Structure 1
Amino acid sequence: MFCINQRTIKREVEIQGIGLHSGQPVRLKLIPSQADEGIHFVRNGTVIPANIEYAKGFDFSTTLIKDGVAVRTVEHLLAALYFTGIDNITIEIDAEEVPILDGSAVQFIEAIKDAGIDIMKAEKIYAVLNKEVTVKDDDKYITGKPSNSFSATYHAYYNNRIIGNKKYTYSNLKSDYENVAMARTYCFLEEVELLQQMGLAKGGSLNNAVVFTEDSVLNPEGLRFEDEPVKHKVLDLIGDLYLLGFPVIGDIYSFKGGHKLNAEFVKKLLEEKAFDLKYSTELDFNDVKLVA
């Protein structure tokens, strides 16, 4: 038996940037919390738990809403909290959208590490899948199966030479974490005008997103990895899964899924009571470890 304890950060840290979709400047503060408090956003005095109950919008990002107050594009920050093993934190934000930074999770991770990670006395709790669960939307689907570890696989299928038919599996290894954390969000140039007509992507640029046009990459530096788009989809999946409130033990496979299907999957896990909450000392799994 071994024990993994809950985590928060040692000191408050501030992050500034712009919102990808709103284009508005935003200041965000990460603040230490007590054990078993979980992850909460605070905006305009409203406390919004980072919980699937409050996930209400999925237009090219995940939005949490409570009492009419919204916080958008939470998935990259939530993935960073997962990677660093943060269970308890308060996130104060002065605008509607979490800053996009470079379009990945790596700068959030750097800020968390700069603040320092505080190992708490309370034991960490995991959501251990106890049966297979699947959600579908036409040809898209997500399946979760019981396992002795955690893995998240994304299978992309695009009519595009660069993205094409590719899949990537994150399996809690250091190399997986570093690759997935650095993968940037992306879009197609042909989509940009439509997104802007929808009131989205107002803050998008080649500094915070990979932009494709047909089979070319517009960013001068190119891709960080050959399969960067697929790895970013894994990043989004991990961030959305953290809305369950606990890190998952199980194998998750997503074929062409997105934020809405991710949320439906988390909701179905709850509805079907498809997991058991267990302390780390109740687990015999060798793969329950923190990589960041």
Structure 2
Amino acid sequence: MKIPNFSIPLTEIPLQKNIQLFLKREDLIHPHISGNKYWKLFYNINSYLKQNPINPFIITFGGAFSNHIAATAALGKEYNLKSLGIIRGEEIQYKWQLNPTLKLAHENGMDFRFVTRSAYKDKDALTKILQKEFTDALIIPEGGTNDQAVDGIQFMLAEETKSFDYLCTAVGTGGTIAGISKFAEKNQKVLGFKVVDDISLNSTVLELSNRNNFTLFEAHDGGYGKISDQNIRFINDFKERYDIQLDPIYTGKMMRHLLKGIEEDYFPNGAKILAFHTGGLQGIFGANELLKKQNRELIRF
């Protein structure tokens, strides 16, 4: 994997208040390995390939609509690496072809192994089994979060991000915010918008970043994967206003709660805020299939 030789654009979101808000378009970094996923895989893959494995093989974990699964499969295709996805929920194995994320991942060369939800919870045990079965494989955690992933996130920060007072991101497994926290300037405050209801995230991020310069906010709207009508309306309105597509699981929730915080005067007058668009747009196809079955408004894409 290479560091792209172009600058990721910063797009200003105009506000009524004396506050500057910009969105860093990490979703544009790669058409299929988009956003933070690219940087979380960057060191993992490069370090692995330097070892010259005889049969290079990537294994990772995820749910049926996982952005990480989609990105890992796309990376495998681009770099000619076999890939295996350990997918949560064995009931999916008979109908995965109907799932847009898994269908695309399979088209990109990924094979699947479906496990029960109870077995999936013990990923340490699953990892040990996989290590014995595939001795030459690189096994990447769910969401791609590990120390190498955290170090890869440093490339989301650059000279043009140093002038901002606040750095904001959606938070799933904690790797992205940990990387931003670890490599942020001393004067910068890091804000994370949790899209999962997980009380352990604060300690996870602190352990990964070794810096206490971040604050986490609840933004999951009832749990991971929950899509409220309010969030759909917000995403569609945001697209119409600014011609920027947000996803319903991560960036849509982050931007809605961030703008709410601005409206409620959480930020001081004159503050400069940078939010990171971490991609995940492939998830819209699956979300719309679910919304269609529920006779609800669709996300315009």
Q: Which one has more relative contact order, counting CA pairs under 8 Å at least 6 apart?
A: 1
- Would you say same fold, with TM above 0.5? no
Task: Name whichever structure is richer in helix by fraction.
Answer: 2
Q: TM-score, normalised by structure 1?
A: 0.27
